[in-house]
C-alpha cells in the first residue's frame, strides 16, 4: 500500500483561488488531519518543566553561592578555551582601572558602555581622565535622529562594555538580556567586548540556564525587558575558508570577562 503522499500538497494549493493565502485555520486543520492518522512512532514526552521556576531559581542561587569559587574556576577555564580573556578584580572600585588597562593595551580611544546604573559601577570618570571617551547608552529611547547617531557611534567604537546576566561554567558562555539601557549592539558592533559581572551571575550548566529562562518567563515580562536574549560563547569566528579558524568576522574579535570578587552595586 502506498496511500501516503510524498512531496508538497500542490493539489491543495492550486485548487485555491489564485493569490489567496492559506489561513491559520486551514493550516492547522491540515496539521490536525495528518496527525489524526497516526499515534506517532513511540510513547514520548517533552522535557519536564520545573513547577514554580522563580522559586527554584532562587533556591539554586542560594546553593550556588556556597560553591561559587569552583564554578568561577570552571567558567574561567571554559571561557579561555573559547579564546576569551579572563580578568579578576577585588572590588567594583577596581573596575575602571582594569578597563583603562584593557583600552590602553589596544590603543582604544572610544568606549561605548551600558550606563553605570546597569553596570553597577561608574567607569566614565577614570577612563575620561585617561583620555578615553566613554559614551553611555541612554536608558530612555531618544528620537530617531539621535538613535541613528548612537548607532554610528557604537559602530565606530573600539570597545563595548556591558554587564552579564549569566556566566555559564559548562560552556564559558555569557548570557545578556537586552532591555532599556542594555542595548544589543554594545556587545556586537565594537571589535572588543568587555563584560563586567560578579558571583551572582554564575551558573554551572546549560540545564540551569534552562531553569533561569523558565523563571524569567514566568508571569508577564517586566516593562523594561527587551526582545532579545543573547548567549555569547567566545569571539565571533568562522572557518568558512579552507577550515582556517578566523576571529572577528562580524562580531567582536576579542571578548573579555571582568569578574568582580566583591560584587557590583546592582543588587541592593
Place of cell 578555551: 81
Edge-to-edge order in the sheet of strand 173-179: 173-179, 166-168, 202-203
Letters for 151-190 (x = contact with another protein by CB under 8 A, - = none) are: x---x--------------xxxx----xxx--xxx--x--
Tell the smallest beta-carbon distance from residue 201 to another protein (Å): 17
Restricting to residues 222-261, name those near another protein by CB under 8 A.
Answer: 223-244, 246, 248-252
Least Å distance, CB 60 to another protein, is 14
The pattern of x and - marking residues 112 through 141 that bind another protein according to CB under 8 A reads -------------------------xx-xx
| Minimum separation from the CB atom of position 227 to another protein (A) | 5
Rounded distance between C-alpha atoms, residue 120 and residue 98, angstroms = 15
Pattern 26-55, another protein, x by CB under 8 A: xxx-xxx-xx-xxxxxx-xxxxxxx-----
Task: Give the sheet arrangement for strand 192-198, strand by strand.
Answer: 85-89, 254-260, 192-198, 159-162, 110-113, 133-136
- Give every CB contact of residue 113 below 8 A, 6+ residues apart in sequence: 119, 123, 124, 134, 135, 136, 137, 160, 161, 162, 186
CB of 194 to another protein, least distance (A): 16
C-beta of 226 vs 263, nearer to another protein: 226
How far apart (Å, rounded) are the C-alpha atoms in residues 189 and 152?
Answer: 10
- Hey, what's the cell of 251? 562580531
Candidate residues 98, 196, 202, 211; the one interacting with another protein per rule CB under 8 A: 211
Contact yes or no for 215/180 (Cβ under 8 A):
no
Tell me which residues in 68-87 interact with another protein (CB under 8 A). Answer: 78, 82
Amino acid at each position: 500500500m502506498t496511500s501516503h503522499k510524498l512531496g508538497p500538497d500542490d493539489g491543495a494549493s492550486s485548487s485555491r483561488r489564485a493569490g489567496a493565502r492559506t489561513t491559520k485555520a486551514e493550516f492547522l486543520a491540515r496539521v490536525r488531519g495528518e496527525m489524526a492518522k497516526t499515534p506517532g512512532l513511540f510513547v514520548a514526552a517533552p522535557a519536564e518543566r520545573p513547577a514554580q521556576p522563580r522559586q527554584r531559581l532562587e533556591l539554586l542561587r542560594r546553593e550556588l553561592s556556597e560553591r561559587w569559587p569552583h564554578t568561577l574556576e570552571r567558567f574561567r577555564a571554559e571561557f579561555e578555551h573559547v579564546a576569551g580573556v579572563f580578568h579578576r578584580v577585588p572590588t567594583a572600585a577596581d573596575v575602571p582601572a582594569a578597563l583603562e588597562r584593557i583600552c590602553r593595551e589596544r590603543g582604544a580611544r572610544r568606549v561605548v558602555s551600558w550606563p553605570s546604573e546597569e553596570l553597577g559601577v561608574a567607569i566614565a570618570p577614570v577612563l575620561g581622565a585617561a583620555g578615553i571617551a566613554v559614551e553611555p547608552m541612554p536608558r530612555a529611547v531618544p528620537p530617531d535622529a539621535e538613535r541613528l547617531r548612537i548607532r554610528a557611534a557604537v559602530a565606530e567604537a573600539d570597545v563595548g562594555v556591558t554587564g552579564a546576566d549569566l556566566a555559564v561554567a559548562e560552556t564559558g558562555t555569557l548570557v545578556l538580556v537586552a532591555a532599556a539601557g542594555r542595548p544589543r549592539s554594545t556587545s556586537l558592533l565594537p571589535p572588543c567586548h568587555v563584560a563586567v559581572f560578579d558571583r551572582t551571575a554564575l551558573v554551572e550548566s546549560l540545564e540551569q540556564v534552562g531553569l533561569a529562562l523558565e523563571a524569567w518567563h514566568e508571569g508577564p515580562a517586566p516593562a523594561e525587558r527587551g526582545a532579545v536574549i543573547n548567549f555569547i560563547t567566545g569571539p565571533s569566528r568562522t572557518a568558512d575558508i579552507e577550515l582556517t579558524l578566523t576571529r572577528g568576522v562580524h562580531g567582536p574579535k576579542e571578548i573579555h570577562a571582568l569578574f568582580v570578587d566583591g560584587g557590583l552595586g546592582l543588587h541592593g
